[in-house]
Amino acid sequence: MRRYNLSTMLFVWLLLSVMTPTVILSGLYLSSFKQAFLQQEQVHLSQFADNKVKQIEDYISERIADVFSLSQSAETVEAFSQLSPLYRQDGKQSQNYHQLLVELKKVYQHYQDDGYLDLLLISPSGELLFSLGMNNHLPPSENTDSETVSGLNFVVKRAKYFLESSSSSFEYYPPIEQAVAFIGSPVLVQGRLIGIVVLQVDSQIIQKVTLEVGGSRSSREVVVAARQGDYFSYQVELKYDADSIVGEPQPISELSESLSKALSGRRHIGVDIDYRGVEVLAASRYIPSVQWGLVFKEDMSEVVQVYDQIFQLGLLILFIVLIGVLLVSGLLGRKLANPFESMTQMTRSIASGETDTRIKPEGFRESYELALCFNQMSHALSLARETLEQQVEERTLELTDEIDLRQNKEAALAESYKKLNLSMKNLQAMQSQLIESEKMAALGGLVAGFAHELNTPIGVAITASSLLLRELTILEQSYTSDELTEAVFKQYLDDIKSACTLLEKNLKRSASLVRDFKLVAVEQTNLHKEKFVLHDLIESLLTSLSPETKKYPVEITNRVGAYIVVNSYPGDFYQVFTNLILNSLIHGFSGHQGGELIIDASIAENLITITVADNGKGIPQQNCSSIFEPFFTTKRGQGGSGLGLSIVYNIVKQKLHGDIKVRSTLGQGTEFIITCPVKH
């Protein structure tokens, strides 16, 4: 950790005690000053914005008043009364129509002298009857419904359908290379619409109004815009964008936030980014008469210029104070640090081994007392050093003994780990052998049962063959001795037929048993996939297990559909069904009066679900989570190995890549549910 000298610490203390309050108070003052200054500037900006809105409203109101007065004048009513019949009868090509246009132009010429670009007289059906500027900039179609004159279309529709005076937004028209707006009013006679009078104005007067921003801020600017659907257009020229065109449609996405609020009818003032990407203080206002948005703005850099000057002056004063604190702390620190430097030098001598070193007490009271304490400490340190060396030597011997003991323990632990690992491998090998032994024991029991079952039909066949031989011998003797009569011959033939029938029946029974046993034995040792009918596999298995199943009063029902054909390992299915059936009989129906065991299966897409359910004794809930563990059995000492269900679990999980679950209620029965993927 880096240590600082006394002069530095004094400088830091003085800086914290003097400069920190000064900086905090100055910061609070400047912050409150900035807030008050910005609030005052916002008030001024809002007043200017309100004045601009009023000026524009007054100008628009005056223009609407002009067009309204024009629509009420007798000259206008008379003009429509003369123009409409001539236009409908002779069209624009007639000489009378052109003479009337020349006369009307003289009557209305003073409107162009007053600053209007054009004066239009339009019929109720939308035909352009008269244009003071000879309609040289209007579409040749002479149809005011054209989209190319949407402003004119707007005021005509307002006058035609709503019978009210209105003004449009400024739109840029390339033929005259400037932005124009239309102010229209209906001409009514006794409440009937006879025409529409429209005055066309340019944006120069609005431009003059917006350029008069007042105040000393050079960055002040008034931006006016109108919205048309998904587009907007500026209604005045932009001060900092010479390429902008008044009335030219632009995407609404390029609209600034303050201008968007103004077009939405919201009064707002705050900081925003204008069309140049510059941070500005902007006041948003809405002009309802023309549905325009107005923003009166000025650059934030110019607004906070006064604050920045005061801030820079404050920084200069703080810098001067900082230099003064640095000089005072340096002089005072040197005076206080001299006695401590002497003590430091003597401490280094002690650190190098000279513990008998002494310091002459001098200086102010604190340093004098510190020197006396240092001399006492030096003497005590000399004594402690000798004691410490002795203790270190003793502790070194103890640590050496502990290290040797730890190494011996680690070697013994490593040896124990090796033995434990070997025991684990032996245990796993023994478990595998026990599982194989269990499989062979099951197969041996199957062979024993098969031999017992086969003994009966073979014994009957031998007895029938002996009877047949005896009857043939007696028949031969009777024939040789001429004692054979027809009745006796028929009797012997009937006995021989009965013996042959009995012999054939039992030999077929023996052949069927041999075939089923051969199928079971072969499939249990089959390690390859093949297609098989699950119902037939279970039937052959039940036939082979009949010697064992007959020992229990249980009815086994095979409900598996004959349509279920799977492509899997038949030997594994034989082993699983064998273990589940025998487990159910041995553990579920031992000492039971009777019951039922049902085997069922269903298949959906490539997933087969097999259930083996019985209504036997059931399994206690505390054992359900342990029945699949190796060597877990409730028949310990009664012939149970505890591997039957463990083999089933391993086959389903590892070989068939499926899952097995058990549900059981004590006294009501047990159900095993197997799900595994198969190809059918």
* Domain edge (last residue) among 257, 275, 300: 300
Cα-based angle 68, 69, 73 (whole degrees, multiple of 5): 120
CB 593 within 8 A of CB 633: no
Tokens of 653: 């999980």
Residue 215 Cα distances to 41, 219, 310, 658, angstroms: 11, 10, 21, 86
DSSP annotation of 186 reads: E
Sign of CA dihedral 521, 526, 531, 535: positive
User: Cβ neighbours of residue 260 under 8 Å, at least 6 residues apart?
Assistant: 293
Same structural domain for residues 141 and 275?
yes
User: Cβ neighbours of residue 174 under 8 Å, at least 6 residues apart?
Assistant: none
* Among 206, 261, 202, CA closest to 52: 206
Q: What is the pLDDT of residue 198?
A: 92
The count of residues in the chain is 680
Q: What is the pLDDT of residue 23?
A: 75
Q: Please compute, for residue 629, the number of CA atoms within 13 A of its CA located in the half-sphere on the CB side.
A: 7
How many angstroms separate the CA atoms of 587 and 669, rounded? 11
161 lies in some domain: yes
| CATH number, position 150 | 3.30.450.20
318 lies in some domain: no
Name the amino acid, one letter, at 412.
Answer: A
CA 573 centroid distance within chain: 44
Q: To which H or E segment does residue 192 belong?
A: strand 192-202
522 lies in some domain: no
Q: Please compute, for residue 399, the number of CA atoms within 13 A of its CA located in the half-sphere on the CB side.
A: 6
Same structural domain for residues 477 and 625?
no
Same structural domain for residues 116 and 261?
yes
525 lies in some domain: no
Q: What is the pLDDT of residue 140?
A: 39
Q: To which H or E segment does residue 196 belong?
A: strand 192-202
Q: What is the pLDDT of residue 141?
A: 37
595-604: strand order across its sheet: 554-558, 595-604, 607-614, 669-677, 659-665
Same structural domain for residues 113 and 244?
yes
- Angle at which helices 365-480 and 570-583 pack, to 10 degrees? 90
Same structural domain for residues 537 and 483?
no
Q: Cβ of 680: how many Cβ atoms within 10 Å?
A: 16
Cα-based angle 626, 631, 636 (whole degrees, multiple of 5): 100
Name the amino acid, one letter, at 589.
Answer: F
194 lies in some domain: yes
* 607 strand-pairing partners: 604, 677
367 lies in some domain: no
Q: What is the pLDDT of residue 428?
A: 65
Same structural domain for residues 70 and 153?
yes
* 281 strand-pairing partners: 271, 298
| CATH number, position 556 | 3.30.565.10
DSSP annotation of 190 reads: T
Sign of CA dihedral 25, 28, 34, 38: negative
How many angstroms separate the CA atoms of 38 and 26, rounded? 18
Structurally, the chain folds into a number of domains equal to 3
Is the model's pTM score more than 0.75?
no
* Among 467, 528, 526, 544, CA closest to 498: 467
Same structural domain for residues 131 and 264?
yes
Same structural domain for residues 494 and 534?
no
- Tell me which residue range forms the domain holding 490: 391-499
Q: What are phi and psi of 176, to 5 degrees?
A: -110, 0
* Among 282, 148, 272, CA closest to 224: 282
Tokens of 52: 């601009």
62 lies in some domain: yes
Tokens of 566: 């799977």
Name the amino acid, one letter, at 599.
Answer: I
Instruction: Write the secondary structure of 586-599 as one string of H (helix), E (strand) and C (coil).
Output: HHHCCCCCCEEEEE
Same structural domain for residues 192 and 69?
yes
The torsion defined by the Cα of 531, 532, 534 and 540, in degrees rounded to 10, comes to: -150
Same structural domain for residues 211 and 62?
yes
* Domain edge (last residue) among 234, 266, 300: 300
- Angle at which helices 305-351 and 365-480 pack, to 10 degrees? 90
* Among 619, 623, 622, CA closest to 666: 619
* Among 365, 323, 359, 325, CA closest to 342: 359
Same structural domain for residues 547 and 467?
no
How many angstroms separate the CA atoms of 530 and 517, rounded? 19
User: Cβ neighbours of residue 429 under 8 Å, at least 6 residues apart?
Assistant: none
* Domain edge (last residue) among 245, 280, 300: 300
Q: In the chain, which residues have pLDDT < 50?
A: 136-148, 519-526, 637, 639
How many angstroms separate the CA atoms of 657 and 572, rounded? 12
Q: To which H or E segment does residue 461 belong?
A: helix 365-480
Same structural domain for residues 206 and 118?
yes
CB under 8 A, 24+ apart: contacts of 537-542? 537/570, 537/573, 537/574, 537/577, 538/577, 538/599, 540/516, 541/574, 541/577, 541/578, 541/581, 542/581
283 lies in some domain: yes
How confident is the prediction for the chain on average, in pLDDT?
A: 79
